[in-house]
């Protein structure tokens, strides 16, 4: 089994006041996340506004975040998109700048068949030596990676896991039951983390861990040590924050929250915009009732 970690933060991409990538702030954020419970970070995933980043911005982010993190944590590069050819090229270049693993989202818009999905992923992963994690998020891609296809892909040596954000627990159970024994299933929805652990899942690629990483880690550790009731208590306590971080499209609420807490990450890039007044008030009210784990020194 490849040991990458159980808790990853799907990291936002900080921008400056002119809308340019704030690379130094990205490095500070990555270190702050490691200091508040994360085993590593996903760079340029959905929460990182991957579709709005250029290839050059992504590669520089991969390199600079990995340089900052070093051996302290795992850096997973989001290199997948709807173009198989472009995904292959970016994956190879990400490997060359030193990232630890690859995250490959199912291709959006084209809506391929299951065989098309299989061939897409197979073609990308066979072009790299890095461990690869699949990412199934039908609400964003308009295509679902069926459990049978995920199981089939799990037989490829460097396909080591999947981030499952379908919210379909029956599908998730089928993957865990049928996949290669070393295949790791990560929750892709913070609200599903504890239910997925109870089915035999391995961990989470989280959004709320920007703010409450130590608490997410504690919840998982409680469950894994047999203290399911205590884990459930933490899970229930965190659900209002989960709802607030998805009141409008991710990562808009998370960026708003980080900015309000004093860690400047800028506005999202168009076509995303800042939350409306009602959503912003909901986010602020929720934050007021939360214990925040992001280190204070990181927010100055």
Q: For residue 40, what pLDDT is reported?
A: 98
Q: For residue 300, what pLDDT is reported?
A: 56
Q: List all residues 6 or more positions away from 180 whose beta carbon is below 8 Å from its beta carbon.
A: 154, 155
Burial class (CB within 10 angstroms; exposed 0-12, middle 13-18, buried 19+) of 275: buried
Q: For residue 150, what pLDDT is reported?
A: 98
- Record the pTM: 0.96
Beta-carbon count within 10 A of 190 CB: 24
Alpha-carbon gap, residue 265 to 29, rounded angstroms: 9
Residue ranges of the chain with pLDDT lower than 50?
Answer: none
Rounded to 10 deg, the angle between the 228-245 and 252-261 helix axes is 100
Could you tell me the two tokens for 250?
């991710």
Could you tell me the two tokens for 135?
């990412």
Burial class (CB within 10 angstroms; exposed 0-12, middle 13-18, buried 19+) of 297: exposed
Q: For residue 241, what pLDDT is reported?
A: 98
Whether 163 is a known active-site residue: answer yes
Burial class (CB within 10 angstroms; exposed 0-12, middle 13-18, buried 19+) of 271: exposed
Catalytically annotated residue among 23, 135, 202, 256? 135
Burial class (CB within 10 angstroms; exposed 0-12, middle 13-18, buried 19+) of 256: buried
Alpha-carbon gap, residue 204 to 238, rounded angstroms: 14
Q: For residue 189, what pLDDT is reported?
A: 98
Catalytically annotated residue among 27, 58, 66, 163? 163
Alpha-carbon gap, residue 202 to 190, rounded angstroms: 13
Architecture of domain 7-299: Alpha-Beta Barrel (3.20)
Q: For residue 296, what pLDDT is reported?
A: 73
User: What is the residue extent of each domain of the chain?
Assistant: 7-299
Instruction: List 42's β-bridge partners, or say none.
Output: 10, 76
Alpha-carbon gap, residue 64 to 215, rounded angstroms: 27
User: What is each CA distance from 30 to 43, 73, 174, 211, 276, in whole angstroms?
Assistant: 9, 9, 34, 13, 28
Alpha-carbon gap, residue 276 to 23, rounded angstroms: 27
Q: For residue 3, what pLDDT is reported?
A: 82
Report how far Cα 110 is from the mean position of its chain's Cα atoms. 23
Model confidence over 1-19: pLDDT tens digits?
Answer: 678 999 999 999 999 999 9
Alpha-carbon gap, residue 31 to 3, rounded angstroms: 20
Whether 135 is a known active-site residue: answer yes
């Amino acid at each position: 089994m490849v040991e990458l970690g159980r808790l990853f933060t799907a990291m936002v991409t900080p921008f400056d006041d002119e809308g340019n990538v704030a690379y130094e702030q990205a490095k500070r954020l990555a270190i702050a996340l490691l200091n508040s419970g994360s085993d590593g970070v996903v760079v340029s995933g959905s929460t990182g506004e991957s579709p709005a980043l250029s290839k050059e911005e992504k590669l520089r982010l991969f390199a600079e975040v990995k340089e900052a993190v070093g051996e302290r944590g795992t850096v997973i590069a989001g290199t997948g998109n709807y173009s198989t050819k472009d995904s292959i090229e970016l994956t190879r270049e990400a490997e060359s700048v030193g990232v630890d693993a690859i995250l490959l989202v199912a291709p959006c818009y084209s809506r391929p068949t299951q065989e098309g999905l299989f061939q897409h992923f197979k073609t990308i992963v066979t072009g790299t030596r890095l461990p690869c994690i699949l990412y199934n998020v039908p609400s964003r891609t308009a295509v679902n990676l069926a459990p049978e296809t995920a199981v089939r892909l799990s037989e490829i040596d460097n396909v080591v896991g999947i981030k499952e954000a379908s919210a379909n627990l029956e599908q998730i159970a089928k993957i865990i039951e049928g996949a290669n024994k070393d295949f790791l299933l990560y929750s892709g929805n913070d609200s599903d983390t504890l239910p997925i652990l109870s089915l035999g899942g391995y961990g989470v690629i989280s959004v709320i861990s920007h703010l409450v990483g130590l608490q997410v880690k504690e919840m998982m550790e409680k469950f894994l040590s047999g203290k399911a009731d205590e884990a459930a208590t933490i899970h229930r306590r965190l659900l209002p924050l989960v709802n607030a971080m998805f009141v409008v499209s991710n990562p808009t609420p998370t960026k708003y929250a980080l900015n309000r807490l004093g860690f400047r990450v800028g506005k999202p890039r168009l076509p995303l915009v800042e939350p409306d007044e009602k959503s912003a008030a909901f986010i602020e009210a929720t934050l007021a009732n939360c214990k925040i784990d992001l280190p204070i020194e990181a927010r100055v």
